Structure 1
Amino acid sequence: MRILVTGGAGYVGSTLVPMLLEQGHKVRVLDLLKFGGHGLLPCCQHRGFELIRGDIGDDATVKTAIQGVDAIIHLAAVVGYPACKKEPQVALATNVEGTRTLLRHRVKSQAFLYASTGSIYGTVPDYICREDTPKTPITLYGETKAAAEDMVMEAGNSIAYRFATAFGVSNRMRLDLMPNDFTYQAVRNRSLIVYEAGFKRTFVHVRDMARSFIFALERWDAVKDDVYNVGHESMNFTKEQVARKVMEHVDYYLHFAEVGKDADQRNYEVSYEKIRAKGFETTIDLDTGVAELVRAARLIEFQNPFANV
């Protein structure tokens, strides 16, 4: 199969693209390379790998990128509450208008797989979020992803995956994700302050996210034209539970603050019955993911140019 992966050099893409290539697919990546392309270096050994450096909001670039592909996996986005708050106009241009540009030039026969997010649920009164739970995003990130998801599903021959909070080691690492951040602080700083310890999130490992796209491609007729939460109920944890899981692997000082709060106020549990009924199960639990994050944190070094020690 010939597959276009937008944002393929990012956190999820740099995990997914090598998997697709190993399965024998031809993969074209469209990415602005805002954070570099080092995560895709191992892909260069495959003749079926192609990179187009460009913006999904540029019509000419998108026309070239989608030409001749059977499926489009749309990952490109400004991801997360802080990044969208920092550059709101870029977030709107990328997450909403970039998706609109892709759909405008895409041929209906091309399968369209969209990476949405559980952030679109916001805070909900019934606490257990299912695919028919009303979308009430509380951040610009959630709003842009919800708007794009609506466009994708209206276009047809598509799916939207509402992913749990991602975590785990990737070729293009991110340390802003809660389990990744908690683990890095524990390893490097030997201390962690946690606000709103009882707030609950649901998590999914980045490799399971990548596997879910491959799952859909292999069963397209059975899953298309629908929305799915992607994760597992066993991965619903409070922030305190995540911090204490890290403590099982790292000896560090943990403090739960009574004053202060996170800007992102999501607090919910999610049901994954729908995608499980189709045959998809996640494979990596929190303990396994934290263990690998500890090993990775010991490899990552940041140097402060203003320090003399």
Structure 2
Amino acid sequence: MHILITGGAGYLGSTMVPALLAQGHKVTVLDSFQFGENSLAAACADPGFEAVRGDARQTDVLRPLLVQADAVIPLAALVGAPLCDRDQIGAVTINRDAIATMVDLMSPAQRLLIPISNSGYGVGEPGKFCTEESPLRPVSLYGRTKVEAEEIALARENTVSFRLATVFGMSPRMRMDLLVNDFVYRAVSDRALVLFEAHFKRNYIHVRDVARAFQHGLDHFDEMRGRAFNVGLSDANLSKWELCETIARHVPGFTFLEAPVGKDPDQRDYIVSNARIEATGFRPAHSLDDGIVELIKGYRTLNVHRYRNV
């Protein structure tokens, strides 16, 4: 299969592209390479890999690449509430409008597999799991643009949407601003962390399991198309306090406490059911503990100031 991936040099793509090439797919990446990274350097040796420098919002760039593709994975996005708040026009035009343009240009036969954050659930009901049928109530511009992009994408029949939990783990294009990655770094470097609203819960998923979920979607597309799927660890619906307790098992001397005053600017708080994708046969292969251990090793090697998106 020939797969077009926009934003394929980023945190998700630099893990996903080698995995898809290893399966024998041809992969073309369209990316602005704005971070100046060499995250896909190893892929260049694969004859099935091509890279194109460009913006996913440019129709004249996108159109000829789409003509060649059997499947499209649009990873190009401004990710996270802080970055979207900083560049609100970019958030709307990249996260939502570029998807609308892509859908208009695609033929009905082409497959679209789109990543959507489960941040769209916003604030869930206490003790009640968010399923794919739960109302979407995003609390940030980032969440709103991703929810709107999903609605546009699922209006076509040949689409699968993955509502991703908070991603963690090492990647060739590393991200330090994701919650688990950030907390582990602070545990390793500072041995201390102050939490705001430590009871807020989220679900989590390893970056390599995100790649595996998309591979699973390609392999089971006819069964899954036309629907959204939560993708996360069913044993990792954890509060920030519980996450720190898990990290502390691997970082001796790590101390954390809750701030008596103040609010987290990210007000997401929900637990998520991943039963729908599990019913198709998908199971994550990497636990939260696995990710924490690899992050601890990874932070011994990184110049961490390069790996933030804001």
Shared fold (TM-score, shorter chain, > 0.5): yes
Does the CA contact (< 8 Å) of 2:160 and 2:221 recur in 1? no
Q: Which residue of 2 aligns with 1:105?
A: 105
Whole-Å separation in 1 of the counterparts to 2:93 and 2:303: 33
Q: Which residue of 2 aligns with 1:267?
A: 269
1:31-70 map, 5 Å: 31-70=31-70
Q: Report how far residue 259 of structure 1 moved.
A: 1.2
Does the CA contact (< 8 Å) of 2:169 and 2:295 recur in 1? yes
Check 1:195–1:224 CA distance in 2 against 1; reply closer, same or farther (3 A cut): same
Whole-Å separation in 1 of the counterparts to 2:178 and 2:29: 24
Whole-Å separation in 2 of the counterparts to 1:34 and 1:286: 30
TM-score (norm 1): 0.95
Q: Report how far residue 187 of structure 1 moved.
A: 1.3
Whole-Å separation in 2 of the counterparts to 1:106 and 1:63: 9
Q: Which residue of 2 aligns with 1:6?
A: 6
Letter in 1 for 2:206: H
* Consecutive aligned runs of 4 or more in structure 1 exceeding 6 Å deviation: none
Check 1:171–1:302 CA distance in 2 against 1; reply closer, same or farther (3 A cut): closer
Whole-Å separation in 2 of the counterparts to 1:53 and 1:262: 37
CA RMSD of the aligned region, Å?
1.3
Letter in 1 for 2:297: R
Q: Report how far residue 195 of structure 1 moved.
A: 1.2
Q: Which residue of 2 aligns with 1:307?
A: none
Whole-Å separation in 1 of the counterparts to 2:183 and 2:233: 21
1:222 to 2:216 alignment? no
Which stretch shows the higher mean deviation, 224-233 or 6-15?
224-233
Whole-Å separation in 1 of the counterparts to 2:37 and 2:99: 22
Whole-Å separation in 1 of the counterparts to 2:277 and 2:197: 30
Letter in 2 for 1:188: S
Check 1:302–1:133 CA distance in 2 against 1; reply closer, same or farther (3 A cut): closer
1:286 to 2:253 alignment? no
Q: Which residue of 2 aligns with 1:209?
A: 210
Does the CA contact (< 8 Å) of 1:196 and 1:258 recur in 2? no
Does the CA contact (< 8 Å) of 2:124 and 2:271 recur in 1? no
Letter in 1 for 2:187: A
Secondary structure of 1:92's counterpart equals: helix
Q: Report how far residue 42 of structure 1 moved.
A: 0.9
Secondary structure of 1:43's counterpart equals: helix
Count of residues in Structure 1 that have an aligned counterpart in Structure 2: 304
Letter in 2 for 1:171: P
**Structure 2 regions of 5+ residues with no counterpart?**
none
Check 1:33–1:303 CA distance in 2 against 1; reply closer, same or farther (3 A cut): closer
Q: Which residue of 1 aligns with 2:29?
A: 29
1:241 to 2:242 alignment? yes
Q: Which residue of 1 aligns with 2:298?
A: 296
TM-score (norm 2): 0.95
Does the CA contact (< 8 Å) of 1:157 and 1:225 recur in 2? yes
Q: Matched residues, percent identical?
A: 41
Letter in 1 for 2:270: Y
